[in-house]
């Protein structure tokens, strides 16, 4: 995936003043497709994500993948924005940039003269992108992390069996969608700027993005008010028994058969128990839907008798869509994930070896994304950006260093 000569976002410069995950991952998507992304970090320790020591109580090991992967393909500049000298460098950086990306608090940004209004005066063509917690308007003052915002959306409360605790969609699930949405907004704003000559303010939020994750179920709730969308529904009482999870002899599987046409007769013919196929309660699509619970119980008993592999061998040739419910170890070996570059390997300076990383989820045939480097060391590119990009003299660089504005 290296050696690409063209990239979709060649020539786009992004000043990435972000921490943790939602903001940085937005910058990652832009950097993967060739934008020059300069991650500006505080000199004291840098982005807080550099300090992640464990995940799920497991030590991160010899390389901090949490930070290094979402900050890949970026440059790092260590700049103290609390000092006037640091703010002056930031202003120069923004003069010629295309995009300013941030997820810091509006209060901090205003204190450093980095509000949208401030920055527009420096560069009216700049796209100013905010990855926020709760959106552009209203009460934004509460601290926001992925899961505490997800808690408000209602997404967690509807998952799992009735009576079980709510279920989180996974670490960073809200940050990931909020960050991607910010990156998409940046691209739309760049396209619009070509015609208007003007930048703009965009705001992607954990709350807005995660409400969209509710998709059809939240939309169904809004339209009908029905608790079948908002509360936990047991898998033993599904809408359709042919679209459900089952525990086979060894592991779980998912069968997703639309109950139309001759689907049932094809499916029933594969079962070891002829009484299920003969049962009058299951004779038509309507009665199968009415009797989805007893049909689920009957199928569960039959499916438990054979291995997942057995079932998939029977169902595959008949066009019955089904899959083993894989775990992460299975995924790590999944040829689909590797063939499509959703996983890739790249060299990690910290441990001096190739490591496996998540790859590129969007394919562009002429300008594919690439993983060129993992996340930079703190301040690795400070001098390069100052001298080569911004035209500072070495004397000025030394003065900044003495003032403590850069590392």
Q: Do you know the residue count of the chain?
A: 407
Q: Taking phi first (over 0 means left), then psi (-120 to 50 degrees means alpha), and beta for anything else, what does residue 56 get?
A: left
Give the residue with the Cβ less far from another protein, 50 or 158. 158
Give the residue with the Cβ less far from another protein, 321 or 391. 321
User: Are the C-beta atoms of 32 and 371 separated by less than 8 Å?
Assistant: yes
Hey, what are 268's tokens? Answer: 């029933």
DSSP secondary structure, 234-293, as one string? -TTS-S-TTEEEEE-SSSEEEEE----TTHHHHHHTT-S-HHHHH-GGGSSHHHHHHTHH
CB of 404 to another protein, least distance (A): 24
Give the residue with the Cβ less far from another protein, 205 or 291. 205
Give the residue with the Cβ less far from another protein, 9 or 38. 9
Which single residue is written with the structure tokens 């979709």? 8
- Could you give the C-alpha distances from 235 to 231, 257, 293, 357, in angstroms and in order? 13, 15, 9, 34
Give the residue with the Cβ less far from another protein, 133 or 376. 133
CB of 218 to another protein, least distance (A): 6
CB of 249 to another protein, least distance (A): 16
CB of 386 to another protein, least distance (A): 27
CB of 337 to another protein, least distance (A): 7
Give the residue with the Cβ less far from another protein, 91 or 358. 358
Hey, what are 267's tokens? Answer: 């499916």
Hey, what are 279's tokens? Answer: 């049962």
CB of 63 to another protein, least distance (A): 7
């Amino acid at each position: 995936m290296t050696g690409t000569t063209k990239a979709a976002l060649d020539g786009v410069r992004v000043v990435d003043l972000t921490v943790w995950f939602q903001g940085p991952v937005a910058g990652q998507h832009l950097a993967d497709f060739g934008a020059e992304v300069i991650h500006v970090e505080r000199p004291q320790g840098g982005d807080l994500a550099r300090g992640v020591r464990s995940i799920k109580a497991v030590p991160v090991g010899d390389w901090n993948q949490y930070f290094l992967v979402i900050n890949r393909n970026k440059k790092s500049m260590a700049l103290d924005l609390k000092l006037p000298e640091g703010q002056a460098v930031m202003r120069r950086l923004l003069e010629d940039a295309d995009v300013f990306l941030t997820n810091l608090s509006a209060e901090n940004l205003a204190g450093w003269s980095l509000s949208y209004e401030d920055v527009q005066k420096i560069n009216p063509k700049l796209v100013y992108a905010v990855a926020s917690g709760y959106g552009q308007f209203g009460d934004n003052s509460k601290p926001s992390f992925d899961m505490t915002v997800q808690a408000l959306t209602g997404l967690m409360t509807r998952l799992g069996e009735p009576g079980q605790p709510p279920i989180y969609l996974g670490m960073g699930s809200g940050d990931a969608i909020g960050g991607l949405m910010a990156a998409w907004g940046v691209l739309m704003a760049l396209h619009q700027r070509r015609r208007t000559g003007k930048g703009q303010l965009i705001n992607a939020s954990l709350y807005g993005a995660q409400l969209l994750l509710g998709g059809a179920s939240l939309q169904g709730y809004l339209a009908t008010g029905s608790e079948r969308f908002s509360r936990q529904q047991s898998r033993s009482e599904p809408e359709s028994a042919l679209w459900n999870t089952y525990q086979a002899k060894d592991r779980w599987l998912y069968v997703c058969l639309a109950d139309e046409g001759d689907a049932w007769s094809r499916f029933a013919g594969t079962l070891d128990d002829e009484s299920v196929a003969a049962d009058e309660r299951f004779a038509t699509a309507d009665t199968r839907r009415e009797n989805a619970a007893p049909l689920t119980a009957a199928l569960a008993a039959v499916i438990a008798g054979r291995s997942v592999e057995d079932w998939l061998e029977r169902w595959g040739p008949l066009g019955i869509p089904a899959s083993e419910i894989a775990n992460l170890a299975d995924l790590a070996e999944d040829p689909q994930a590797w063939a499509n570059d959703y996983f890739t390997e790249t060299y990690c300076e910290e441990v001096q070896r190739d490591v496996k990383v998540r790859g590129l989820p969007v394919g562009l045939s002429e300008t594919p994304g690439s993983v060129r480097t993992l996340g930079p060391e703190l301040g690795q590119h400070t001098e390069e950006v100052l001298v080569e990009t911004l035209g500072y003299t070495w004397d000025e660089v030394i003065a900044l260093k003495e003032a403590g504005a850069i590392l």
